[in-house]
Amino acid sequence: MKKVGFVTLVGMLCCLAEVLALQPENVVLYLPFDQAPTRGAIQDQSEYGNHGKMIGKAKWTKNGKFGGAMEFDGASKIEVPHAKSLDLKQAMTLQIWFRTKLPQKGRFLIYKVHLGGGRNYEWGIYLTGGSKSVSMYLVEPNDQVRWISKNGDWENNEWHFLVGTYDGKDVKCYIDGVMADKSAPAKSARTSEGSVFIGTWGSNFFTGFLDEARILNVALTEEEIKQEFQNGYRAFAVEVRGKLSLRWGELKSL
């Protein structure tokens, strides 16, 4: 029997826990934009089939942050119809890469429309202030808004990674792997049958490039977000099972 030290065993168990922490079903929307839309349809790579529809004349380009990307012209958006998997009340992570050289004002890069009274959105990640402020917004069932922002220079025509999370308590915003701050606690997010939109808020349209749009039904940690900023998303949908089998094999051989 192969012997290993206690420290090695603990390290292997931690790796196993990391693999188990995030599963394919946690990703409820993933639009990598690696292929051009077909008749306006944009394929969701999650297991839920939340496919999007391009509205307008945004162009596909092969020169994205990772593979292809969509170039938005200031008059286009992507609509993802409502689905039960997009009803996120207690936890979420919203992620997207963006690049612009123009001063954007009041653009949700990803947001969910609210149907009914009160504010017309439920949650979203936001670029505004002449491309000098990024935010994460969440609206509670009582129409109370929880949000957090970070200021900087995001109109430098370089790729930036914007992430918003909600863990059932705190609303947090991250830019390029660094957490801006967290908001006052929120009890839950309100829901409706409104669509998810990418690249707009109403008639305020984004101009620039968007890539790797992804929504999860869990809140990623600061360390996980930092790792994804540095290395890209983990392709766990295929690889996790192989890694899991390997690590279980390693543990059984101890």
pLDDT digits (tens, 9 = 90+) for 60-103: 999 999 999 999 999 999 999 999 999 999 999 999 999 999 99
- Does residue 249 register a pLDDT over 50? no
Do 187 and 242 lie in a common domain?
no
- Does residue 237 register a pLDDT over 60? no
Do 146 and 218 lie in a common domain?
yes
**Rounded distance, CA 20 to CA 159, Å?**
30
Report the predicted TM-score, pTM, of the whole model to 2 decimal places. Answer: 0.85
Do 228 and 238 lie in a common domain?
no
Do 118 and 206 lie in a common domain?
yes
Helix (H) or strand (E) holding 99: strand 92-99
Q: Any idea what DSSP says for residue 140?
A: -
**Rounded distance, CA 176 to CA 207, Å?**
20
* Total number of domains constituting the chain: 2
Burial of 97 (0-12, 13-18, 19+ CB in 10 A): buried
Q: Domain containing 3: what range? A: 1-22+234-254
Do 83 and 142 lie in a common domain?
yes
Do 139 and 251 lie in a common domain?
no
Average pLDDT of every residue of the chain:
87
Looking up residue 48, the CATH number of its domain turns out to be 2.60.120.200
Do 6 and 34 lie in a common domain?
no
Burial of 195 (0-12, 13-18, 19+ CB in 10 A): middle
